């Protein structure tokens, strides 16, 4: 998580790399959750800057337990086909055959016949 710069007791800013394609939008609403104490959460505004950078302006909405914070930070969502569109920035992993790599798991501990 990028460093949080607190402004007063409940407001903050962050600077981050934001490699998503926003189209013509300059500002979007986001979501952030701290995974270290005090486990604060927020729904900040993310303002796009040049060169895929962004500045985040937010107000902490509250705190939660460590377990809840970690659950929120890794919350599951259902993926759809739209999440895997190359025109939206998704890049498939390169194909690699395990025999081409020259390394493989040998359960015989070196006893290759």
51-110 pLDDT, tens digit per residue, is 888 899 999 998 988 888 887 777 755 566 776 677 766 666 666 554 554 455 555 555
User: Does 100 reside within a domain?
Assistant: no
Higher pLDDT, 39 or 111: 39
Owning domain of residue 12? 5-74
Q: What does pTM read for this prediction?
A: 0.57
Q: Is 102 helix (H, G, I), strand (E, B) or coil?
A: coil
**pLDDT for 41 beyond 60:** yes
pLDDT at residue 22 is higher than 60: yes
Separation between Cα atoms, residue 46 and residue 53, nearest integer Å: 10
In a domain, 103, yes or no: no
> What domain count does the chain have?
1
Rounded (5°) CA angle 38-43-45: 125
Assigned domain for 97 exists: no
- Position 27 pLDDT exceeds 80: yes
56: closest CA among 89, 24, 95, 17? 17
């Amino acid at each position: 998580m990028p460093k949080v710069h607190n402004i007063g007791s409940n407001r903050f800013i962050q600077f981050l790399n934001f490699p998503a394609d926003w189209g013509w939008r300059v500002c979007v609403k986001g979501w952030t959750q701290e995974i270290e104490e005090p486990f604060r959460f927020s729904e900040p505004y993310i303002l796009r800057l040049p060169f895929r950078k962004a500045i985040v302006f937010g107000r902490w909405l509250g705190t939660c337990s460590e377990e809840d914070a970690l659950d929120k930070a890794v919350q599951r969502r259902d993926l759809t086909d739209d999440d895997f569109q190359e025109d939206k920035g998704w890049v498939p992993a390169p194909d690699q055959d395990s025999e081409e790599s020259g390394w493989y798991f040998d359960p015989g501990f070196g006893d290759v016949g």
